[in-house]
Amino acid sequence: MPNILATRIDNRLIHGQVGVTWVNHIGANLILVADDVVANDNIQQSLMDMAAPNTVDTRYFTIQETIDKIHFAADDQLIFLVVRTPQNVLKLVEGGVPIKKVNIGNMHFSEGKKQITSTVSIDEDDAKILRKLHELGVELEIRRVPDERSKDILEFI
């Protein structure tokens, strides 16, 4: 069983909050970004590597690669799994990745989305996917930084 310490939805993927604050808070030694675009973009990977502490390894896998490889993680890999969208979390869960809880940190506002907190905006598809994840037994919290009180997303959808 892989040691997934935390899973976070953040459409910025690795940045200061993820690379320093969350990694230190949970004690991760590996940030795994599961994202089909970034997995094939060396420039984005290099930029994200700059935001990660040099004491932490980074991996960039597609969603399918994550499903295929996560169960081969070494016992000493303490994984912080970061994804861009709830849709990707659902694909991972349905693919057998053992995700029990998801921290929703940042989902940008865009046309057709409703802002539900200062950093999280969702549309109907997002709400449907989040409800489905809840039905599958995944705990869902909104929390930007570790010292902030978490909010149950079900209060908003």
Q: What amino acid positions are annotated as catalytic residues? A: 15
What is d(CA 90, CA 93) in angstroms, rounded to the nearest whole number? 5
What is d(CA 63, CA 10) in angstroms, rounded to the nearest whole number? 15
Backbone angles phi, psi at 10, to 5 degrees: -155, 110
Element (H, E) at 130: helix 124-135
Q: Which amino acid is located at 100 in the chain?
A: K
